């Protein structure tokens, strides 16, 4: 789907500039940083920048809010909206509180984001999320939160399952952030004790258009642990399907520190006959994955030097599963990925004598590993 959009933009004459999703919003490599640089380089250019554009909340104050009030005959008991730039909920809350002072405004923010109030709600081990268009790691200028009565934190799995449910049962072709809003709205209605006759409005901020190859796909959902395999497939007849990944008896993988050079990493992988290697810190935590293909491509394009640290070319997004993942689910992942990292959680006391959960690497599973396991045991079945 993304490639189709890129092709359309190129057909219209646009130049595509890609930025890393992992970049902090205030770094020069982020999409905001790159946009600012391009604006300074390109004559007569302008950034719409909905994070700072005062017309963003005003449009919802003057337009969206009036449409809602008119459709509800001026009576609303609760309004639920998610926050991205914050313009929608800021504009709506100001107008609706003017017309319906008793209306409760509920904000929705994904776990991993910092928009919710109080700030203690944002403390979480979650550092990233799959739902798009809502939540950020900074507070935008247009997001005024003084009129929001209560915040709820959403999580990916429930958000996507709710979106799929609304598509299937209601025919609403909505995006993942709509599922976030609806799931939290149901919780808010229960918590507030809304009764028959009371009126709640839920803002569904996005359509399915940009997510055709994402949460609509059973494979995409199951690969991320959002959909149990049994929910999407008939029971498989293969003898190995329900076995867990521990049956592969994988060897503990080779790992490298982020400061090891790209050339040293390539030499090591060549010597060990591996195609990829996890990059870990001094505590053994996984920072990313380095692959021979990516390192060579970056060197050929002169984007990195062979003497650069391997951390410059590691992937920070990769598939990882736990020991209890079935081989059937692993097989589905390996249909689209060259490897999957197998991890297990270990409780460990740190230097500050605090118990913490540490994620340790058990092994790396490839298609060859799975195929060798199946073929070597087929004669016994």
CB 191 within 8 Å of CB 70? no
Instruction: Compute the half-sphere exposure of residue 95: CA atoms within 13 Å on the CB side of its CA.
Output: 22
Quote the tokens at residue 85. Answer: 């730039």
Q: Are residues 320 and 263 in the same domain?
A: yes
Residue 281 domain-assigned? yes
**How long, in residues, is the chain?**
381
Provide the 10 A C-beta neighbour count for residue 367.
Answer: 15
Q: Are residues 71 and 203 in the same domain?
A: yes
Integer Cα distance of 250 and 270 in angstroms: 20
> pLDDT value at position 3?
62
Number of domains the chain contains:
3
Core vs surface per residue 16-45: b (16+ CB within 10 A) or e = eeeeeeeeeeeeeebebbbbeeeeeeeeee
Q: Are residues 199 and 245 in the same domain?
A: no
Residuewise pLDDT in 10s, the chain (381 residues): 556 778 888 899 998 888 876 666 777 888 888 899 999 999 999 988 899 999 999 999 999 999 999 999 999 999 999 999 999 999 999 999 999 999 999 999 999 999 999 999 999 878 788 999 999 888 999 999 999 999 999 999 999 999 999 999 999 999 999 999 999 999 999 999 999 999 999 999 999 988 888 899 887 887 777 876 544 444 556 788 888 888 888 887 889 999 999 999 999 999 988 888 989 888 777 888 899 988 998 898 888 999 999 999 988 777 888 888 888 888 888 877 788 888 877 666 665 556 566 667 888 898 888 998 888 876 555
Q: Where are the beta strands (DSSP E) in 140-199?
A: 150-154
CATH of the domain at 136: 3.40.50.1100
Quote the tokens at residue 339. Answer: 């490897």
> pLDDT value at position 242?
84
Q: Are residues 115 and 29 in the same domain?
A: no
Q: Are residues 340 and 205 in the same domain?
A: no
Among 146, 180, 211, the domain-final residue is 211
Q: Are residues 23 and 141 in the same domain?
A: no
Q: Are residues 206 and 59 in the same domain?
A: yes
* Measured CA distances, 266 to 217, 299, 300, 310, 311 (Å): 35, 11, 14, 9, 13
In the numeric block, the tokens 């229960």 are attached to: 190
Q: In what order do the strands lie in the sheet with 78-82?
A: 150-154, 104-110, 78-82, 200-202
Instruction: Compute the half-sphere exposure of residue 63: CA atoms within 13 Å on the CB side of its CA.
Output: 8
Integer Cα distance of 337 and 335 in angstroms: 6
Residue 276: strand, helix, or coil = strand
Integer Cα distance of 361 and 363 in angstroms: 6
Residue 142 domain-assigned? yes
SS (H, E, C) 225-244: CCCCHHHHCCCCCCCCCCCE
Residue 146 domain-assigned? yes
Among 160, 179, 211, the domain-final residue is 211
> pLDDT value at position 298?
86
Residue 341 domain-assigned? yes
Integer Cα distance of 306 and 118 in angstroms: 47
Residue 166 domain-assigned? yes
Q: Are residues 61 and 28 in the same domain?
A: no
Residue 224 domain-assigned? no
Q: Are residues 206 and 276 in the same domain?
A: no
Within the chain, what is the greatest distance between any pair of CA atoms?
A: 75
Residue 27 domain-assigned? yes
Residue 78 domain-assigned? yes
- Find the distance separating the first CA and the last CA of the chain, reported in whole Å: 42
Q: Are residues 117 and 258 in the same domain?
A: no
Q: Are residues 199 and 243 in the same domain?
A: no
Integer Cα distance of 149 and 332 in angstroms: 44
> pLDDT value at position 65?
97
Integer Cα distance of 52 and 59 in angstroms: 13
Domain span at 159? 55-211
> pLDDT value at position 89?
98
């Amino acid at each position: 789907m993304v490639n189709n959009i890129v092709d359309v933009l190129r057909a219209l004459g646009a130049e595509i500039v890609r930025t890393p999703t992992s970049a902090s919003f205030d770094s020069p490599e982020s999409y905001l940083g790159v946009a600012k640089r391009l604006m300074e380089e390109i004559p007569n250019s302008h950034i719409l920048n909905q994070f700072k554009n005062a017309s963003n909340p005003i449009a919802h104050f003057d337009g969206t809010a009036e449409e809602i009030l008119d459709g509800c005959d001026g009576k609303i008991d609760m309004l639920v909206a998610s926050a991205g730039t914050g313009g929608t909920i800021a504009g709506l809350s100001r107008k609706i509180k003017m017309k319906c002072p008793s209306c409760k405004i509920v904000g929705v923010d994904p776990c991993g984001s910092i928009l919710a109030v109080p700030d203690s709600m944002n403390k979480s081990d979650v550092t990233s999320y799959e739902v798009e268009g809502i939540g950020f790691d900074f507070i935008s200028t247009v997001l005024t939160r003084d009129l929001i009565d209560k915040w709820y934190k959403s999580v990916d799995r429930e958000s996507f399952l709710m979106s799929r449910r609304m598509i299937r049962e209601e025919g609403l072709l909505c995006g993942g952030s709509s599922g976030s809003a609806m799931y939290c709205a149901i919780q808010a209605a229960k918590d507030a004790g809304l009764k028959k006759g009371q009126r709640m409005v839920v803002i569904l901020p996005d359509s399915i258009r940009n997510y055709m190859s994402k949460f609509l796909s059973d494979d995409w959902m199951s690969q991320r642990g959002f959909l149990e395999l049994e929910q999407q497939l008939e029971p498989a007849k293969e003898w190995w399907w329900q076995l867990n990944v521990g049956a592969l008896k994988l060897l503990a993988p080779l790992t490298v520190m982020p400061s090891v050079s790209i050339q040293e990493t390539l030499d090591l992988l060549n010597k060990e006959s591996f195609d990829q290697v996890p990059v870990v810190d001094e505590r053994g935590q996984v920072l990313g994955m380095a692959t021979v293909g990516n390192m060579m491509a970056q060197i050929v394009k002169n984007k990195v030097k062979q003497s650069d640290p391997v951390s410059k070319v590691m992937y920070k997004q990769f598939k990882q599963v736990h020991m209890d993942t079935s081989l059937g689910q692993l097989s589905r992942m390996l249909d689209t990925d060259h490897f999957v990292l197998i991890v297990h959680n270990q409780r460990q006391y740190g230097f500050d004598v605090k118990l913490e959960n540490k994620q340790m690497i058990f092994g790396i599973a490839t298609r060859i590993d799975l195929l060798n396991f199946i073929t070597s045991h087929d004669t016994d079945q």
